[in-house]
A and B are shown apart, each in its own frame.
Chain A
Amino acid sequence: MVLPMLNPTTSFCGTEQPSHLPEAIRQKIFDHPCYSEQAHHFFARMHVAVAPACNIQCHYCNRKYNCANESRPGVVAELLTPEQAVKKVLVVAAAIPEMTIVGIAGPGDPLANPQRTFSTLRQVAEQAPDLKFCLSTNGLALPRYVDEIVRHNIGHVTITINCLDPVIGAHIYPWIFWQHKRIRRQEAAAILIEQQQRGLEMLVERGILVKVNSVLIPGINDKHLKVVAQVVKAKGAFLHNIIPLIAQPEHGTYYGLTRHREPTAQELATVQADCAVDMTMMRHCRQCRADAVGRLGEDRGAEFSLEQLENKEVDYAAAMLRRQAVQQALAKQLINRQCNSEVKLQFIPVKKKPLAGSPSTRSIRMAVASKGNGLINEHFGHAKAFLIYEASSQGVCFIDRRQTELYCEGSDICGDKEVVLENIIQLLADCEVVLCARIGFEPWRALEAAGLFPNNEHALEPIEVAVKAVYQERLNASQPAQFTTGCKIA
């Protein structure tokens, strides 16, 4: 057993960090908000949009990327030159000391824009040596750039792998640009799949952490993703993340325009659970924008637009000292959370065997309103999303994060409140409890009527502790009934 330490570069006793991960990997993801289930409450990352060109077409993507209203991968507000990107990184890192990761993910493919991508990373590394890098790619050009990735000290790479079968791929990728030719459909998919798999193997061999993202496309790859999960895990990917297809006609994508069905929250959770059997899953991924800034889901990009960057000067040496202090304090908090017996994810002991004829101990899902830091600290009406947790006799488990419209109180500009509330209730249909810091009288009544019990008694408490406590309260509440109907065990 490794002893808890304060320095994040050494070991820590994570309970939620899967214990099968080698120590070297656990160190690398300790403070990575996208990879560590708890770190995302504390540390932040930013993506810079320096890579406009792409070398493939996916049916879920629309290459017109200049819309600031959308919030999905691939969509960015401003394309930056490497120099502008470096400036932005320095300004953001000075303003948000908990920012630890700089990523390049789009709007095109970073490796289809090698000069811009690597020049940005080189300059940031020179001027802000305390930042770490990651990269997201479709994988087509990956084998060719593995050496370059190693040379630029990129610790994490995400590859989007949607299938291993070109017949399925033909329904996802209409074309790729490969060796100076446009290649289409099945032939294109076969090449792409081969390059992705080779790239994955090469990166793992060189000791780089590889995460695999798969887009769940109902009717296309939903049945196939389990195989994908098994294969990429066997090849050494340390995380597999399944994200839902986003396909609205107004996005102008192929799937959007052909009205392809998006998966429901339950479908997604089922496939994620199916694949988690074989794979360490990253369940808390938010579909952050490619130029998102700040903690996951807490997008501060608008504060750092090009215009605002123009006349900002940064004393990075001073900023680095500040960053160090803040990060050390955060690391301490994070380690405390992971090591403190009160707070860590615990197995809830099964007190007694289920009584004959009584239902076995059930699991309960709860929706949590949180602003971050792993606490129940958000007003129901201000929650932009709910975190879904499941408590069972096995312990407390994070399921996913569901985006919502704001149920904003006391204002006319928030649209039809009843409709919004109705939508929230539907979104949380599989939950039994809603945990929040505060909640108004009206929504309280409506939630209760829908069988979704609001609870603000655990305001400002750590989420897992509260979920666990409420779980036991609810089990206890239903126990007396069991005693009267079941046959008594002496």
Chain B
Amino acid sequence: MAFAIVEVCINCWACELVCPNNAIVEAKPHFFIAAEQCTECAGDYAEPQCVGICPIEGAIVDEYQKPLNPLGSLIPIPLKQRRETLTVP
């Protein structure tokens, strides 16, 4: 039971500041969740804190690599316009 951070992370520190278990560490090329320390916030909060504050869609994934903030969930930009201009998936 643990989440992970993937390469679209912009290293903004937000998740590190709110994790109740100090499971998140600054690392290169991007932040990293120490799996053995991550409880998915069970027992601490109703919502996983890192997932709640992360501004980047797709940056935090569950154990099946499924994005916890999927595309379109944080910034409601129509997909067509994203494809036209976005360089980041």
Contact = CB atoms under 8 A, between A and B. Distances in A.
Interface of A: 52-55, 57, 59, 63-66, 107-108, 112-113, 174-175, 177, 180-182, 249-250, 252, 254, 256-259
A363 B8 CA distance: 53
B70 interface: no
A257 B53 contact: no
Contact of A63 (B12, B46, B87): B12
B77 A254 contact: yes
B10 A174 contact: no
B43 interface: no
A257 B53 CA distance: 22
Describe A's contact surface by its main secondary structure: loop
B75 interface: yes
B64 interface: no
B13 A254 contact: no
The 4 closest A-B pairs by CB, nearest first: A53-B14, A182-B52, A177-B53, A63-B55
Interface in B44-89: 45-47, 49, 51-53, 55-56, 74-78, 81-82, 84-88
A53 B17 CA distance: 8
A54 B77 contact: no
Nearest to B14: A53
Contacts, number: 78
Contact of B81 (A113, A174, A177, A257): A257
A55 B12 CA distance: 11
Nearest to B56: A63
B11 interface: yes
A55 B11 CA distance: 14
Contacts of B12: 52-54, 63, 65, 107-108
Nearest to A109: B14
Contacts of B81: 257-259
A181 B52 contact: yes
A249 B16 CA distance: 30
B14 A174 contact: no
A293 B8 CA distance: 30
A181 B76 contact: no
B47 A258 contact: no
9 contacts: A53-B53, A65-B12, A108-B14, A180-B45, A181-B46, A182-B53, A249-B84, A252-B88, A257-B85
B12 to A, nearest CB: 5
A257 B55 CA distance: 17
B14 A54 contact: yes
Contacts of A258: 77-78, 81
Given A53-B53, A108-B12, 4 more contacts: A52-B13, A64-B88, A257-B77, A257-B81
Contacts of B52: 177, 180-182
B55 A57 contact: yes
A114 B10 CA distance: 20
Contacts of A107: 12
A211 B76 CA distance: 31
Nearest to A251: B85
Contacts of B82: 257
Interface in B1-40: 10-14, 16-18
A250 B85 CA distance: 7
Nearest to A108: B12
A113 B13 contact: yes
Contacts of B13: 52-53, 108, 113
A112 B14 contact: yes
Nearest to B49: A180
Nearest to A176: B53
Contacts of A66: 10
A182 B75 CA distance: 13
A113 B78 contact: no
B78 to A, nearest CB: 7
A178 to B, nearest CB: 9
B11 A52 contact: yes
A364 to B, nearest CB: 42
A254 to B, nearest CB: 5
Contacts of B85: 249-250, 252, 256-257
A64 B17 contact: no
A55 B18 CA distance: 10
A174 B75 contact: yes
Contacts of A181: 46-47, 52
Contacts of B14: 52-55, 108, 112, 177
